[in-house]
Amino acid sequence: MTLRNFFSEFISNKSYFKNSITFFLFFAAWGIWWPFFQIWLSSKENGLGLPNTEIGIIYSINSVTALLFIFIYGIIQDKIGINRILLVICSIITSFTGPFFILFYEPFLNSHFYIVSIVGSVFLSSGFLAAMGLYEAVIEKFSRAFDFNYGKSRAWGSLGYAIASLISGSLYIISPSLTFGISSLFSMTLAIILIFYQPIKENKLPKQKIFTDTAIKFADLSHLFKSSKFLLFVLIIFFTCPLYLIFEQQLFPSYFLKFAPENYNGEKIYSIFTSLQVFIEVLVLMLAEKIISIIGIKKTLILSLIIMVLRIGLSILTDDFVIISVIKVIHAFEIPIFILSVFKYITMHFSTRLSATVYLIGYIMIVELGQIIFSTPIGIFQDYFSYKTTFILLFLIILSTTIGSTIALLNDKVNSPLK
């Protein structure tokens, strides 16, 4: 995929244009504040000053609520087919990001921790955490209905996140409230586009054209849940991805700031490296299909697990800020190839009719469940021990699972096209 092709379809396919802009604005609205959420929660100078135990509780509550919204969104979206009504609702919810954090979450979290955490989890899950999967699922359906490349459209989301992350550090230094306020502006723009801009091409295709004869029966699900290949896939996801996300989102931001040079602003440096990471992620996303076609789906999936192990392992071994900064950027190589190889592994080894269900239950929900189970204990563990001791624990679990995955994951089917 060339950069010219990356931009050219904007003109030729208006459905691609609208869905790409949707991705761009949603991830910009998220990326302007999310990279600093853990830092904001933990910082005593420029945040709420919460201990890691309470931060772990917040992440666990968020994951529980996100799990519920994933169920709700999935059921409703399957009923309405190719329709953006849920995206409109989500964009309206996130338009209140600024007022919610500034007027409610920040003033009352310390004094009414559990109540505010629960209410906050409803807001975060409905607008962002569970909504991300909804945006991806809906736009994937549009890509099949209106003939555009989903990966290219999704790359615009990463680009939006990268640009937002680039400016978020400077805004956070001035005031964290600015990041929440600008998130609202991005979301309001998104809501306006979703409501008022309707490509003519999308009005001409029957809404359910490509989704007939795909109803899933209870017997299908029963057979799936008894399948050893499904259970092994779930176990591999459960003991890698949730732990890695806890490392990346719950632990690494504060760990990074510990080593920032005293004569530089750590938050601003973090935002720069986050942006660099996501810009690289866009490029890797454009090359991911080629990587998978060369080395295969299983090997690509294992490669992404090795990158998880590498990042955590390097964090254990070094105190050098330059190397820690490189560790931050390496994340860009893991995300695109992991997500795409998971998609393709599911498509190759499970019935196409069940692929969405396998992705929802075997990946999205298992990741959320893992974060529910692990976030609080790991937060408590880190409060009692050091970052590096916690990293060693995560490293050993993910390394063991990665080694096991070389046997447990199914080999690529010889005659199956890698697409």
Mean per-residue pLDDT of the chain: 86
Architecture category of domain 12-212 in CATH: Up-down Bundle (1.20)
Measuring CA to CA, how many Å separate 348 from each of 68, 100, 287? 28, 43, 20
As a whole number of angstroms, the longest Cα–Cα distance in the chain is 63
DSSP line for 246-299: IIIIIIHHHHHHHTS-TTS-HHHHHHHHHHHHHHHHHHHHHHHHHHHHHH-HHH
Measuring CA to CA, how many Å separate 350 from each of 134, 230, 267, 346? 21, 9, 44, 6
Task: Name the E strands within 78-193.
Answer: none
Nearest alpha-carbon partner for 52 in 62, 38, 65: 38
Nearest alpha-carbon partner for 22 in 168, 191, 245: 191
| 210 — pLDDT class (breaks 50, 70, 90) | very low
Read off the pTM: 0.77
Measuring CA to CA, how many Å separate 25 from each of 3, 19, 183, 187, 281? 20, 10, 9, 7, 17
| 301 — pLDDT class (breaks 50, 70, 90) | very high
Query: Could you read off the pLDDT of 379-388 as tens digits, one per residue?
Result: 889 888 889 9
Give the tokens for residue 86. 């849920």
Give residue 412's region: left, alpha or beta (phi > 0; psi -120 to 50).
Answer: beta
Q: Is pLDDT of 326 > 80?
A: yes
Task: Answer whether 65's CB lies under 8 Å from 119's CB.
Answer: no
State the residue for tokens 């890509």: 143
Average pLDDT in the 168-187 region? 92
Fold match between 12-212 and 218-419? Answer: yes
Task: Answer whether 173's CB lies under 8 Å from 267's CB.
Answer: yes
Average pLDDT in the 74-90 region? 84
HSE of 145, CA atoms in CB hemisphere, 13 A:
24
**Separation CA 116–CA 20 (nearest Å):** 34
**Separation CA 339–CA 348 (nearest Å):** 14
**Separation CA 57–CA 283 (nearest Å):** 35
Percent of the chain with pLDDT over 70: 90
The number of residues making up the chain comes to 419
Rg of the chain on CA atoms, in Å:
21
Task: Answer whether 12's CB lies under 8 Å from 148's CB.
Answer: no
Amino acid 46: pLDDT: 80
- What CATH number was assigned to the domain covering residues 218-419? 1.20.1250.20
| 44 — pLDDT class (breaks 50, 70, 90) | confident
Amino acid 212: pLDDT: 46
Average pLDDT in the 105-125 region? 94
Query: Which letter does DSSP use for residue 104 in this model?
Result: I
State the residue for tokens 């190889």: 341
Average pLDDT in the 240-246 region? 94
Q: Which residue has the higher pLDDT, 43 or 235?
A: 235
Task: Answer whether 286's CB lies under 8 Å from 155's CB.
Answer: yes
**Separation CA 36–CA 53 (nearest Å):** 18
Q: Is pLDDT of 370 > 70?
A: yes
HSE of 222, CA atoms in CB hemisphere, 13 A:
3
Percent of the chain with pLDDT over 90: 42
Average pLDDT in the 147-160 region? 82
Q: Is pLDDT of 216 > 70?
A: no
Number of Cβ within 10 Å of residue 374's Cβ equals 24
What is the residue extent of each domain of the chain?
Answer: 12-212, 218-419
**Separation CA 336–CA 57 (nearest Å):** 28
Task: Answer whether 371's CB lies under 8 Å from 59's CB.
Answer: yes
